Structure 1
Amino acid sequence: MSTSFTINIIDDNIAECDETFTLTLSVPSSPCGVISGSDDTSEVMIRDDDGVMLSFDQSQYFIEENMTPLSVGLILNRTTSEDVIVEVSVNDRSAKAGIDYDRSGAPLVFNVTISSGVTSSSFDVNINNNTRQDGDTMFSITIRLISTCLPITIKSDTTSVTIIDDDVLRIQFSSTSFSGSESSGEVLVSIVMLGGSFDRNIKIYVSLRGINVIEENDFRPTRLTATIPANATTTTVRVPVMSDSIVEGDEMFSMNLNVPSSLGPGIVAGSVTSATGIILDSTDITVQFTQTQYTGSEDTGFVLVTLELVGGTSSRPFDVTVTPLEQSPVSASNVVYFYYYCIFI
């Protein structure tokens, strides 16, 4: 023979560990001679049905490297009756601890507590700014629960953090003009990278075109390749020029800098992408008489005087002034001033 009774359980919205209470049986004095048996106590367990979800406050994180620190939140979808302790581990991927991120000397494995009655807590990771164009980098954050009786499920135990590189590098000529003597055989051209350095070699190109030079005689128009070494900010391009024995005066050629788009959006051309190269003429020639004395008769009406260039030739005509000086008494009509025009090629 048996009978039953019910005990009301109060439903709440608080995540709790399973709870128990004890029932004790006692029988009042009865004329029927009924007494309590040996099983006069029993335990009742209330299983908590308020499941809790633990998650990051974002599914993944993106931050520019100059926006430190990164704040990462841990959230519960409801309150709990006890503190929730979460172990956090920050791990390298392409980003490196101590170089790209850190916690100001604090360990990268640590505990975060979400106190009872609240639903969130957070921690910071410092993002280290630099002036290198090293592209976007990543690290990950993993969480796990420290032993607890609370009915907590982790939605996703790992998230990623992308550090967005904010260093735009600009490559340009260091000046708008460069010069070199033809006797040196080269014009040295300096190229600079503004805004920092890059962790790999960078190839760029310089196109040459003559302005007033005699191409093939003075230099060859071409496209030169320049390399800025990894972690450097400058490079020098050697433009070959040819020496000759012709007086030409200074000559010029143009240069255009090409920064390939394949280098990515973080490496672009600067403001000085055109420059002028000047070849300084280093040919020294002299003009002189071919003889120390010339003779002419009065009846011919002239004296033939010959001049010569010594040490080279000229690519264009130039004026030479010859002034007779009296060596013996002559009349004024014998003194002549004139310009002698020579074309030396």
Structure 2
Amino acid sequence: VDVVGDLLDESDETLLLDISATNTTVAGSDLQAIGTITDNDPLPQLGINDVGPIDEGDGPAPTPFVFTLSLDTPSGRDVTARVTTGDVADTAVAPSDYAALDQLVTIPAGMLSMPVTVNVVGDTTVEPLPIETFSVKLAADAVTPLNANLADPLGIGTITNDDGNPGTLQFTPNPADQSVAESAGTVMFSVTRTGGTAGAISTTIALGGSATPGAGNDYTTSSLTLNWADGDASTQMVAITINDDAIAEGDETVTLSLGAPSGGATLGVPATATLTILANDAAAGSLQFTPNPADQTVTENVGSVVFTVTRTGGTAGTIGTTVALGGSATLGAGNDYTTSNLSLTWADGDASDRTVTITINDDALAEGDETVTLTLGAPSGGATLGVPATATLTILANDAAAGSLQFTPNPADQTIAENAGTATFTVTRSGGTSGAIATTIVLGGSATPGAGNDYTTSNLSLTWADGDSSDRTVTITVNDDAVPEGDETVTLSLGAPSGGATLGVPATATLTILANDAAAGSLQFTPNPPDQSVMENVGSVVFTVTRTGGTAGAIGTIVALGGSATPGAGNDYTISNLSLTWADGDASDRTVTITINDDAIAEGDETVTLTLGAPSGGAVLGSPSLATLTISTNDAGAGIFQFASNPPDQTVVESVGTTSFTISRAAGSSGAVSTTIALAGSAILGSDYTTSNLVLDWADGDASDRTVTLTVIDDSAIEGNESVVLALGAPGGGAVLGSPATATLTILDNDANGGPATATAIPASSTWSLALLALLLAAFAMARTRMAGRGFD
């Protein structure tokens, strides 16, 4: 038996094959066979379209909104879905805006669609929202099988409020830009209200552009706040009064931008207008150095150098500029150079050149080549800067080299025993002996200078006369004390030389002093590790500090406290003396006692850290030098804070109005506790949403939930989807954060119109087309593509 294949989703089917006796045969006992045909076709895809925007009407008869349940392909079985209305994201509300619906709708076998009607209530009331929406949702029924996949289970009905339009505001004509001469006086801009006059509305004009507003500046203006009463469609005017000054300032602009209207009105096109004020003043010209480039190079003995500044391109008005000096040369009498007046001015009509004179001091210092830079400042009187606005003077040195200073030999480091007496370091001058030079030695290292300390030194200020190339020495006298202090170092660094000399290599030297005293030992906690964990009611805990590896000399250390527990009477703990000392030859242990306060505060486990400070007397820190005491709480729990739903995230349409998040206190309610909600995300508080109090408090024993309400602002801006992130802060009173401690609200923008989606029919005549159809249907289901105003094709 050949079975005919098709693409129709249907129930499994059977066929019967009967055997009957003929004239020459005898019937047996098994005369019938049953063949079962198993359906292998995919379920059809079911969706519902959007309807609207449609005017609500004035009543009393309702306005029908007809939605269509559609299949992408006919089914061999009835397709039944439960259709309901209403969602938290809706702005339309049943029964005042529409009649709620909850019913089963069946698309009979072989058919592609079935309509379902929602009756919208018409009225003559001017409502706060010009557009309202409601949801129509598809779901599988608990009893009747669906027999389809829900590709698009949500339809949106959009209701237009036809009871009054506050209109739109725009400049007229379009474009509203104007260009006038500076002498034009007053220029008027018109703002019109079109498309409706329902209600009182207003807007405020924002000014911009290159011109400066204000009396005595470029222009003044009439009131920038425009108001329309209910029913008022008159044109409002804005006056710009131009100040016809005598400043050569070039063309300038004033931009006028309409602000977001109140009263539900919207902005039309154009919402901005530009006034161009054409200058009627003569050009003040530009200032620059000449020639171009204006840089000059001279030897130090040249005497004076002159730089010229010219005015070109106009001579209208009085102008001026100031020349700023820079470069490596030093200005001033007795230094590298002096200069003439650096403030340059031109009278109205004056186009003559101005000069700046640099007088060079031909000194005897070996200082290398030096530079002077001259930079023209921003001109006054409407003039501008030309090119070049900077000039550089290079002064070539004509003096002999002063040489370089360095330690010798290289490297110059030395190592001696503490009882060696003295160590000598040599500083040489090489590469030139011109002029008197000097340097100062800077000391460093772990050793301490001074009589009675680790070492003393000879004079650290070294000088050379003109022509002197002899070496200089620095002597370190080491103090052979009896302190067990370990090896120590002295570093010697040459300072920047005077007289034009430079530093050579090496410019530093290190003296290492090897200790010859008995060891003072090391200090550490014992045992290793020394950490302890106790209950809050234990009473006292003792930590031991030992001295090992030597007992030479008196030593000491101070124990520093840390951790989450608070020291002090009436707080978490008190402690014995934290200053520990050992006499010369003393190797006995020292102890630190922590006395714990067994309070009744539900504060969670706490810690005390004890850190040994750097020992005195030449001793060192051993390991471990840190010990931690963990105090386990024995008080009732203060609870755990988290968002009640997991996950707590929500997605709403911008027109939802308000939405709330719930915060719960679990696993304990001992003590008064609180937390603070922190806000983040791409949505802006005050512009995109507002919120209730973000500080949440619970009294002792209170385990009730708290809510935070967000009010979403349904603006008309096309801004894309936005988010608000709510994060619970660290609780006080011993409570802790649970999970989830953050929640995200996604606000779906309802101002953009992306247009309807369409589907394309694919011929079912070949294997590849059927595979392509399956892929397209899978992609369609994943994307949850909305069918706007039609079913599947």
Which TM-score band (shorter chain)? 0.3 to 0.5
- TM-score, scaled to structure 2: 0.20
Answer 1 or 2: higher relative contact order, Cα 8 Å, separation at least 6. Answer: 1
- TM-score, scaled to structure 1: 0.41
